[in-house]
Structure 1
Amino acid sequence: MNILDKIIAYKRTEVEERKKQQPVKLLESSIYFSTLPVSMKKYICREDKTGIIAEFKRKSPSKGVINAHAPVERTTIGYLQAGASALSVLTDTPSFGGSTDDLMTARKFNFCPIIRKDFTIDEYQVIEAKSMGADAILLIAAVLDPQQSRKLADLAHSFGMEVLLEVHDEDELKQNLEAGADLIGVNNRNLKTFEVSIDISKKLAPMIPDSVVKVSESGISSADTIIELRKHGYRGFLMGENFMKHDHPEKAAMDFMDELRKKSI
């Protein structure tokens, strides 16, 4: 089993346990079930924003611990003040050190689109995302077949949430063009080697329909890279590690986005 296979095997067990601990009826009693989600597509395309989806991530399978101590409240508020278009919050614990509490804390202090970033493989997790105040969910093509992606996307849409579908190569993209995603994210990190190259974003850009928002993920560490990716039609840019590796991620985000604004004039 590779790392992804191990993560998904654990996730299946975790989801079954969560179903017992918090039945769907309990999730549906959340105050967020009656609130209208905020559109991530619209925020990413706003001219007064940067298009950056700033991520709160404590660790990762490839890098280990990135930042174990940054507070959710200060970091996420700072991200928005810096000019981020949206927030991404990891809720997976074993691989990324996240939790559902992290997302709910971010929701409490921010009015902006928040995507729940996790390995979503079950309808229960979509309901769970809605119950914690997420505006969008991540679906990873590498762990779902196209029919599963479509089913989970349809459920998310029934709650008013949007879907970011993540692909890693041309095959995954072509197989999921009918999945109903609102945004398609190209992950520049090779899942097998963990090598990163934005060339994959450039390669897949012409194949992504204009009806969805193009998002480039991973390996973005300079304003020049974002400016280059914009030329290929990308409007969204998922960034986490580049900010989180600093003691004050929100300060790093402000410095980065200030540079981006200057270079974009």
Structure 2
Amino acid sequence: MDILQRIIKDKRQEVQFRKGLIPFSQLEQSVLFGRATVSMCERLKNSASGIIAEYKRRSPSKAVINQDANVFDVAKGYEKAGACGMSVLTDGKYFGGSLDDLLLARASCGLPLLRKEFIIDEFQIVEAKAHGADVILLIAAVLSSEEIKQFSELAKSLGLEVLLEVHNQEELQKSLMPSLDLLGVNNRNLKTFEVSLETSKELSALIPDEFVKVSESGISNVEAIKILRGYGFSGFLMGENFMKTSSPGESAKEFMKQLEQ
């Protein structure tokens, strides 16, 4: 069993447990559930940087990245640096995150927030809305076409945008549908954790222009972004590059300065 299969197996158990604790109606009554969402698509289309800055404490591939950085301060720092949006890991077991991180980020900044999670149930989408997310992530590698349609249409009905993540041509072809907003190409192979920007380059021409193209993982320098822009990408999800420093917000600010030059 590879790491992705292990994560999904554990996630199914976790979601079943959470559903037994919290009814849908309770989530729908939360203060943030009725909040008007902020469009990450529009931010990316009108941005010079296209940076979606990520908050994550650890990952299966890198173990501990940063256990000290406070999500409230990091969110403020990312907004001040000029990021277009923020990605917040909410998986606990493998990434050290939680829905509280999403709430704190929401309280701290006005950026569009992506709930970065392994979504396998409608419950998690309602959770995302109730905790202040503007965008949800769907991973084609773990969902059928029918699930992608079902989940993305529910997200749209709640006012959330949908980032669909693919790793290869097969995943892309099964996933294209009108209820998606952003198409993300993950340059990291989720089975081996090897990273290559060639994945984004190869898939870029196959993504229709109506979707905002986002390149994810393995982006660590300004040159990579300039190259990927030439392939039609307007969004760049960056996490470890900022989070591995003592001040992720300052690190993001410095990176954006270099990008402007």
On whether the aligned pair clears a TM of 0.5, the verdict is yes
For residue 72 of structure 1, report the CA deviation from its aligned partner: 0.6
2:117 counterpart of 1:118? yes
For residue 190 of structure 1, report the CA deviation from its aligned partner: 1.2
For residue 179 of structure 1, report the CA deviation from its aligned partner: 6.3
Q: Which moved more, 1:173-182 or 1:146-155?
A: 173-182
Cα offsets for 1:122-142 (capped at 9, x unmatched): 000000000001001000000
Cα offsets for 1:218-250 (capped at 9, x unmatched): 000000100110010000000000000011111
2:126 counterpart of 1:127? yes
The correspondence of residues 1-265 of structure 1 with structure 2, limited to 5 A, is: 1-47=1-47, 49-178=48-177, 180-262=179-261
Q: Distance in 2 between matches of 1:10 and 1:249?
A: 30
For residue 215 of structure 1, report the CA deviation from its aligned partner: 0.1
Give the secondary structure class of the aligned counterpart of 1:138: strand
Q: Distance in 2 between matches of 1:2 and 1:220?
A: 24
CA contact (8 A) 1:188 1:200 kept: yes
Q: Which runs of 5+ in 2 are unaligned?
A: none
Amino acid at match of 2:22: Q
**Length, aligned pairs only:** 261
Give the secondary structure class of the aligned counterpart of 1:37: coil
Amino acid at match of 1:83: G
Give the secondary structure class of the aligned counterpart of 1:207: coil
Amino acid at match of 1:233: G
The two structures have a TM-score, normalised by structure 1, of: 0.97
CA contact (8 A) 2:168 2:199 kept: yes
Give the secondary structure class of the aligned counterpart of 2:205: helix
Q: Which runs of 5+ in 1 are unaligned?
A: none
Cα offsets for 1:118-174 (capped at 9, x unmatched): 000000000000000100100000010111011000000000100000000011001
Q: Distance in 2 between matches of 1:103 and 1:152?
A: 20
CA contact (8 A) 2:125 2:151 kept: yes
Runs of at least 4 residues off by over 4 Å: none
CA contact (8 A) 2:220 2:241 kept: yes
CA contact (8 A) 2:90 2:98 kept: yes
Amino acid at match of 2:2: N
The two structures have a TM-score, normalised by structure 2, of: 0.98
CA contact (8 A) 1:153 1:179 kept: no
Q: Distance in 2 between matches of 1:183 and 1:231?
A: 18
Q: Distance in 1 between matches of 2:246 and 2:111?
A: 24
CA RMSD, aligned part only?
A: 0.9
For residue 109 of structure 1, report the CA deviation from its aligned partner: 1.2
Amino acid at match of 2:24: V
Q: Distance in 2 between matches of 1:256 and 1:112?
A: 18
Amino acid at match of 2:11: K
For residue 192 of structure 1, report the CA deviation from its aligned partner: 2.1
CA contact (8 A) 2:145 2:174 kept: yes
Q: Could you tell me the percent identity over the aligned residues?
A: 53
Give the secondary structure class of the aligned counterpart of 2:253: helix
